[in-house]
Amino acid sequence: MTTLRTRVAAPIALALAVAIAPALTGCFGNPVESIIEGATGGQVDLGGTTLPDGYPEAEVPIIDGEIVFGGSIGDASGAIYNVTVKVSGESAIDDIKAQLEGAGFTTQVGGDTTGGATYIGNTDAWGVLVVVSDSGDNGWVANYTVTATSGQ
C-alpha cells in the first residue's frame, strides 16, 4: 500500500471506528478493530477511557479531565492517535493552546468557531488538531487528533 494511500485510509478508518464503535460494544466483543486492521494493514486500538497505548504524552500533553475516548491506528512508526477529554467549556482552548505551545508546538491555525474552537499546531515530530465543542449530553469536550510528522 502506498504511503499516500495509507495516510488517507488510516484517518478515514479511524473516523469510521469512532463513529460506529459505541454501537458495537457489548458482551460479544468489538469486531471493528479486526475489520479496520484488515482494511488498512495496520494495528488498531479502539481504546476506551484512557490514553491509547503508545500515546506520546510527554511530547503532546493532554488537558486534565475525564477521558471519554482514546484510540489509535497504526504502529509506533506511524500511529494516529485520537483522544476526547471532557473540559469546562469553549474557553478550555486557551489552556490547551498554552499547554501545547509550552511543549514546543507552533500554532498554525486556531480560533473560535460557531459553538466551539480549534487549534492546529506542530513540532518537528508531531502534528495536532484539537477541536473543542459542545457534545450535548457529554458537555464540552476537547478532541485531539495527533499524527507523526514526516520528519519523525
Q: Is the pTM of this model over 0.75?
A: no
22 backbone dihedrals φ, ψ, rounded to 5°: -60, -30
62-121: pLDDT as tens digits: 999 999 999 988 876 678 999 999 999 999 999 999 999 999 999 888 777 677 999 999
Task: Give the whole-number percent of the chain exceeding pLDDT 70.
Answer: 64
Cβ atoms of 93 and 117 within 8 Å: the answer is: yes
By the 10 Å C-beta count (0-12 exposed, 13-18 middle, 19+ buried), 136 is classed as: exposed
